[in-house]
Amino acid sequence: MRKLILVCMTAVFFAGSCSGGSQENPDYLNSGLSVERRVADLMQRMTLEEKIGQMNQCVGLNHIDESQAGMTEEDLKRNTAQAFYPGFLKEDIAQMARDGKIGSFLHSVTIGEANELQKLAMESRLRIPLLMGIDAVHGCALVSGVTVYPTSIGMASTFDPQLVYVSSRQTAEEMRAIGMHWTFAPNVEVARDQRWGRVGETYGEDPWLVSLMGEAAVKGFQGDNGLEKELVLACAKHFVGGSQPVNGTNGAPADLSERTLREVFFPPFDACVKAGALSFMMAHNELNGVPCHSNEWLMQDVLRRQMGFNGFIVSDWMDIEHLYDLHCTAVSNEDAFGQSVNAGMDMHMHGPAFVPAMMKLVEDGAVSEARIDESCRRILEIKFRLGLFENPFFDESAVKETLLAEEHKAVALDAARKSIVLLGNNGILPLTDGARYKKIFVTGPNANSQGLMGDWTFPQPDENVITFIEGLRMIAPLTQFTYLEQGESIRYMDPAKVRKAGEMARQADLSIVFAGEYVNRKDWVNKTSGEDVERGNLNLPGLQEELIRNILASGKPCIVVLNNGHPLAVEWIAKEASALVEAWEPGMFGGQALAEVLYGVVNPSGKLPVTFPRSTGNILSVYNHMPSHYFHPVVLEDPMPLYEFGYGLSYTSYEYTNLKAGEFVNGSLEVTVDVTNTGSRAGEEIVLLYMRDDYASMTRPVKELKGFTRVALEPGETKTAAFTVREDQLAFFGKDGKWVTEPGTFTVMAGKLSASVTLKP
């Protein structure tokens, strides 16, 4: 009894007097002190259980209610979007927050709930605020009433990192207005398998382009010079290899050489570290037989020691548990927790079982308390840097001033305009309102759907979204548009309506078909694209091909617009349609932007950030392939891409002349090329600069992107595009496992021009 009294008294004395400061005014609550001192003071006051609690994340209480109402425990095993905790009531989760056993919540999508959860945390012994996370991938689109920008693949089509930076900054502002501090973005995986449902979340297939876009996103979210209190924490994901799975499905194994990892997949993540990203998320998949969530080489050797990352690492949705129940590299969930944390994991997404399991692992000596301290310290540092201890709550009256601000809407529209790629045009575009084509028939499952906003979006107020048919009527008021609804769910199209479309097309001067994929997260079982929705082939799903054939059979001109998140096999449509337009998922103002492009208000300028293969059999189809990739022919079909990375048409024409590449001086090469608008319309050309290492000690790609810029040109105008290529951009991972830049000749390419330069020893 005497021993127990001594322990209790020691605990009280400790909490009240460590590092100076009283129990009423401890140092960690003193905003005038350094973050390092505040973290050290708080850590000394925390119990082991409270430290582990900071490493634990749970889903929001309202989310638990919604999920439990429509799911069984069996459903939980494969679901990666909804969750509840069998055996735990939401009141139990609330009590854990009061007890300091939860450090973060995700899937809380209202400012009211965010504040209520913070109130629970303020009832805990040390009043440590919660870090609120959300998937704000292209706007905070899981929340109603926000600005929804084009998805990442569309943003990549703009080849405009500044747009990514500005839209990310605006997203951060809207997030903070609704009680969020942490976005699970950017996704900087390099998309190499077009079947993969998450291509639309990425910035495409080129490591250089993805790196620059990812860097811009990180700085937009967090700030230009580190994490700013008014902004949000970025999260580079998913580390690594999930975008080239062995069978095209999300989370399937990745079997990749170290050379491919270092040359293709690591560079964007390294760029995010250099840009200041302070959280990373590991990938679902196993990499060369080792699950990423227990991969010490990835987390410690590569990410922390080689790249210099000093933030915290979070797991993806229940992926630590998958070490046990999927990968079978752990014998229990407890063993999985221990393996992952010892390998470098800092935060568990998600669930209440983590805290007691980790307590036992420390007690048993399987995980050291010093290892727990590392993770806890990293997480607390972020909370202090975000100013959460001073301002854990959010002003609900400020929401209306921030969400959907006029400048945010303007950027979303501008991005949509620049993201659209014109793939084919037999001269029918641009249209003229009320002129040649007075009666236009419009149909297709995406014609009047909020699916144009893409994945990671919940339904938005109808008045905030301009669908494709609405955009046409807005931009061309003199044209008579007749619309036949085909139903949004592509899997269950009505054959009678598909037949009727052919009949209605005969009565019109022109038809426009809006085809593609279905991505409604509220109707998960009917999705055909997006997270965890992969395709066995790249054909248009449902009866869409039959729909287009019926309309083409009318003999009238037909324009096909694709609304999708990954490339589709549309070779026959490209041949038969009067025009083919790739709209991607252009966001809430996509309908207006698309109509402006069709009617020539905007001259299309987007270029493909990912290759379109002719068929699923032509995966892996990327522009930066090795010379032997197409050495032998494929029988019965053309293996060459339908549209290569960088492809995109305009309503004007451009001529490239006077390509000049000097000599390498002080490790840099200056390249210039003149670009002339030889057409009759003003336009903006994306100038892409490629280089090829002509001869090297290891096989090098046929070409690699080394620079790009947007050039605005009036008819007849000429401008010079200038590039600087650093010598280290020509390096590759050599035979000895070291980076090397070998001397020799290099071919420089811009447009259809090429020049030779020599890098001397």
Tokens of 488: 């949004």
Tens digits of residue pLDDT in 637-667: 899 999 999 999 999 999 999 999 999 999 9
Tens digits of residue pLDDT in 554-599: 999 999 999 999 999 999 999 999 999 999 999 999 999 999 999 9
pLDDT at 82: 85
Fold of 420-630: Rossmann fold (3.40.50)
Amino acid (one-letter) located at 240: V
- DSSP strand pairing (654-661 vs 704-713): unpaired
The CATH class given to the 46-401 domain equals alpha beta
Burial 293-316 (b: 16+ CB within 10 A, else e): bbbeebbeebbbeebebebbbbbb
Q: What is the rounded average pLDDT for all residues in the chain?
A: 95
pLDDT interval class at 23 (50, 70, 90) = low
Strand, helix or coil at 715? coil
**For the chain, which residues make up each domain, given as ranges?**
1-33, 46-401, 420-630, 654-759
Tell me which residue of 663, 504, 490 sits closest to 563, measured CA to CA.
490
* Residues involved in catalysis: 316
Peptide bond into 350 cis (omega under 30): yes
pLDDT at 67: 86
Tens digits of residue pLDDT in 444-489: 999 999 999 999 999 999 999 999 999 999 999 999 999 999 998 9
Tens digits of residue pLDDT in 386-413: 999 999 998 888 788 899 999 999 999 9
Average pLDDT over residues 97-114: 95
Tens digits of residue pLDDT in 64-75: 988 888 788 887
pLDDT interval class at 21 (50, 70, 90) = low
- DSSP strand pairing (668-677 vs 654-661): antiparallel
Amino acid (one-letter) located at 507: Q
pLDDT at 358: 98
Kindly tell me if the per-residue pLDDT of 132 is higher than 80: yes
Give the rounded percent of residues in the chain with a pLDDT score beyond 70.
97
Q: Is 625 exposed, middle or buried (0-12, 13-18, 19+ CB in 10 A)?
A: middle
Kindly tell me if the per-residue pLDDT of 718 is higher than 50: yes
Quickly list DSSP for 478-504.
Answer: TSEEEEE---S-GGG--HHHHHHHHHH
Tell me which residue of 155, 247, 259, 240 sits closest to 190, measured CA to CA.
240
Quickly list DSSP for 175-193.
Answer: HHHTT--EE---B------
Task: Judge whether 18 and 45 are in contact, CB under 8 Å.
Answer: yes
Strand, helix or coil at 273? helix
| CA gap 57, 659 in Å, rounded | 55
382 Cβ contact partners less than 8 Å away, ≥ 6 residues apart: 131, 227, 233, 278, 279, 311, 312
Tens digits of residue pLDDT in 227-274: 999 999 999 999 999 999 999 999 999 999 999 999 999 999 999 999
Q: What angle do CA 231, 237, 239 make, to 5 degrees?
A: 145
Rounded to 10 degrees, the C-alpha dihedral 607/610/616/620 comes to 140
pLDDT at 183: 98
**Number of neighbours of residue 517 by Cβ within 10 angstroms:** 29
Tens digits of residue pLDDT in 362-373: 999 999 999 999
Looking up tokens 């208000």 gives 601
Give the rounded percent of residues in the chain with a pLDDT score beyond 90.
91
| CA gap 139, 432 in Å, rounded | 33
pLDDT top residue among 12 and 292: 292
Q: Write out the H or E segment, with its range, that includes residue 283.
A: none
Superfamily of domain 654-759: Immunoglobulins (2.60.40.10)
